[in-house]
């Protein structure tokens, strides 16, 4: 699996910005995912930008101006931008939609990420990325979410405060009225939470209230919060159910639990604490102060750990790393 964060998108655009001709008059984004790279390109090139339908209707804002529009007759060369190409069918639809304008404008096409072999589908591409792949800007609308596991607190809703987390009436009130956080746009596979089984009714009520569809809800079958604290097996509990079916992804809110789930399952975990992917791979070192995985050779890193005051470096669970460390 390949994962790209917004920072990766920004970095590759800056790195390959020279590929885009400077005589482009207008940048047009393909809704919705193509609007983000189109906006970045427009900012860096200081060009106006718009979306497909607004372009067709002549609704184009001037660069650096508010409430001011460009006369469509001023536009000659247009760059249409999408975030990615897989099969190429979406870009073909865009080309068909804009075919009526080919005589009036010189239109070229770009995609930031393309699967290997599809580079010729566009005039400009920035990086080849094979499937399966996830992007930070559309991961909660990915077509494979039905084959994924999701945590609840810190993912679908905010975490309870210490005051709310009393294993009593305040906690019940929280469960029924928790503020939503990342609500997916499609059906989910299994929700795996460390919430106690006795709070199933309240949890299901909240999920129904926010129109969250899912196949299964797995909770901890323990009598109370004290028993849950004694067990302290959140990562193991979640990894167990991640392994039971051919799920492709686990979405977890806590970084250390994400690492534990990954270590046990040997499958990728997306962590909403830093919006990064934790992969099964080589041993790395995790810096607790910076929150980054450092790609040092394990033996050297262990020696460095003994030298650095305060033990700022500590070994991460075996064979885990964040994709952000891969360039």
Q: Is it the case that residue 292 has pLDDT exceeding 90?
A: no
Task: Answer whether 2-137 and 140-280 agree in fold.
Answer: yes
Question: Looking at residue 103, what is its pLDDT?
Answer: 82
* Tokens coding 17: 């910005």
For the stretch 15-41, pLDDT in tens is: 999 999 999 999 999 999 999 999 999
CATH class of 2-137: alpha beta
Q: What is the pLDDT of residue 65?
A: 52
For residues 139 and 87, give the distance between their C-alpha atoms in angstroms, rounded to a whole number.
18
DSSP, residue by residue, 120-167: GGSSEEEEE-PSSEEETTTGGG-TTGGGEEE-SBTTTBPPPPTTT-SS
Which option is the CATH number for 140-280: 2.60.40, 3.30.70, 3.30.300, 3.40.50? Answer: 3.40.50
3-state secondary structure of 322: strand
pTM beyond 0.95, yes or no: no
Instruction: Provide the token pair at 114.
Output: 């393309």
Question: Residue 132 — φ and ψ, nearest 5°?
Answer: -75, 150
Residue 308: what pLDDT?
57
pLDDT, mean over the chain = 85
d(CA 28, CA 35): 8
Instruction: Please give the pLDDT value at position 291.
Output: 45
**CB burial class (10 A; 0-12, 13-18, 19+) of residue 261?**
buried
Confidence tier at 142 by pLDDT (50, 70, 90):
confident
What is the distance between the alpha carbons of residues 120 and 325, in angstroms, rounded to a whole number? 29
Residue 19's closest CA among 52, 39, 41? 41
| 62 has a pLDDT exceeding 80 | no
Q: In this predicted structure, which of 3-7, 44-48, 129-133, 289-293 has the lowest mean pLDDT?
A: 289-293
Domain ranges of the chain: 2-137, 140-280
């Amino acid at each position: 699996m390949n994962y790209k964060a917004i920072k990766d998108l920004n970095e590759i655009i800056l790195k390959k910005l020279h590929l885009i001709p400077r005589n482009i008059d207008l940048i047009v984004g393909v809704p919705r995912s193509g609007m983000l790279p189109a906006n970045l390109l427009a900012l860096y090139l200081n060009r106006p930008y718009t979306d497909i339908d607004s372009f067709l209707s002549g609704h184009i804002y001037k660069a650096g101006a508010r409430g001011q529009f460009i006369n469509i007759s001023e536009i000659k060369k247009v760059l249409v931008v999408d975030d990615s190409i897989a099969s190429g069918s979406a870009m073909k639809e865009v080309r068909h939609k804009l075919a009526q304008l080919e005589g009036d404008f010189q239109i070229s096409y770009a995609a930031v990420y393309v699967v290997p072999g599809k580079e010729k589908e566009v005039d400009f591409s920035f990086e080849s990325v094979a499937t399966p792949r996830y992007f930070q800007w559309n991961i909660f609308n990915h077509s494979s979410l039905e084959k994924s596991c999701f945590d609840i607190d810190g993912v679908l809703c905010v975490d309870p405060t210490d005051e709310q987390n009393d294993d009593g009436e305040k906690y019940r009130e929280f469960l029924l009225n928790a503020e939503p956080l990342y609500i997916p746009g499609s059906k989910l596979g299994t929700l795996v939470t460390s919430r106690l089984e006795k709070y199933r009714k309240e949890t299901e009520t909240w999920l129904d209230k926010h129109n969250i569809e899912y196949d299964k809800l797995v909770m901890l079958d323990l009598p109370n919060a004290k028993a849950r604290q004694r067990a302290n097996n959140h990562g193991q509990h979640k990894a167990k159910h991640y392994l039971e079916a051919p799920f492709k992804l686990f979405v977890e809110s806590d970084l250390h639990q994400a690492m534990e789930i990954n270590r046990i399952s040997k499958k990728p975990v997306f962590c909403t604490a830093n919006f990064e992917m934790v992969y099964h791979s080589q041993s790395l070192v995790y810096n607790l102060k910076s929150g980054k995985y450092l790609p040092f050779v394990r033996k050297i890193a262990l020696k460095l750990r003994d030298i650095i005051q305060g033990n700022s470096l500590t070994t991460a669970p075996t064979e885990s790393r964040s994709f952000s460390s891969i360039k």
